[in-house]
Copies of this chain bind each other. A is one copy, B any other.
């Protein structure tokens, strides 16, 4: 009856291995952050990650969460989603896909790559290379 009190966490082993695969040294805090973050496909802000790590009974500082999420994004473990000037979301789904962003609730929902196709991608400006394509469909509550 109480097996759902705590959100499922990724095992420490698995988390550490996953970080190693991305050439990230699996320190204690990074592993704890990975355990909550990578447990499922989700979109979390830095603050939410901090809360989840603490809720799981581990201690991390705010600075480390920010540093770590930035590192994870750099290394490709997660993807930054910028839809709101107030906070950055980290998306654990790194495959090609897009998003609905509910401006009223702040909720972010995935749109599979198969549900939306981009035709005729334009060439990038000279001297630059493409890094990624973000498609955001902004929605709001009816009325």
Q: Which residues of B are found within 8 Å of A55, using beta-carbon distances? A: none
Copies of this chain, whole number: 2
Q: What 9 A-B pairs come out closest when comparing CB atoms? A: A117-B119, A128-B139, A131-B138, A115-B122, A134-B136, A132-B138, A124-B139, A85-B88, A133-B137
Give min CB distance, A56 to chain B, whole Å.
26
Beyond A117-B118, A128-B142, 5 extra complex contacts between A and B, CB < 8 Å: A109-B125, A128-B139, A130-B138, A133-B138, A134-B137
* Contact call A129/B142, Cβ cutoff below 8 A: yes
A-B contact pairs, 25 of them (CB 8 A): A82-B83, A102-B125, A102-B128, A109-B125, A116-B118, A116-B120, A116-B122, A118-B119, A119-B119, A122-B137, A124-B139, A127-B141, A127-B142, A128-B142, A129-B140, A130-B139, A131-B139, A131-B140, A132-B137, A132-B138, A133-B137, A134-B134, A134-B136, A135-B135, A135-B136
Q: How far is the CA of A130 from the CA of B100 in the complex (A)?
A: 9
Give min CB distance, A142 to chain B, whole Å.
5
Which single member of B88, B118, B127, B142 contacts A135 (CB below 8 Å)?
B118
- State how many residues of chain A have any CB contact under 8 Å with chain B: 37
* Contact call A117/B120, Cβ cutoff below 8 A: yes
Q: How far is the CA of A123 from the CA of B84 in the complex (A)?
A: 22
Q: Which residues of B are found within 8 Å of A87, using beta-carbon distances? A: 85
Q: Does A8 contact B (CB under 8 A)?
A: no
